[in-house]
Amino acid sequence: SAAAFSVGYESPSQFSREFKRFFGRTPQAEIDWMKATYALPAPSGSPLYVSSH
């Protein structure tokens, strides 16, 4: 609902309906997709440090 209000909607449900009509998925589905698609891989082993000195 914060996103809906921040872009001028008075009703989060109206924002969600229009978002789904425009993008083809709900705002929550978009959030889930973006997290899965753009997530950084978990760190493995010890971190690598590079020093230029």
Ranges of residues in the chain whose predicted pLDDT is under 50 = none
Q: At how many degrees (to 10) do helices 12-23 and 27-38 cross?
A: 60
Q: What is the pLDDT of residue 46?
A: 67
* Per-residue model confidence (pLDDT) at position 40: 83
CA distance linking residue 49 with residue 44, whole number of Å: 14
Q: State the pTM of this model.
A: 0.67
The pLDDT assigned to 44 comes to: 73
Beta carbons within 10 angstroms of residue 15's beta carbon? 19
How many other β-carbons are positioned within 10 Å of the β-carbon of residue 16? 17
pLDDT tens track for 17-26: 999 999 999 9
Distance, in Å, from the CA atom of 46 to the CA atom of 53, rounded to the nearest integer, reads 21
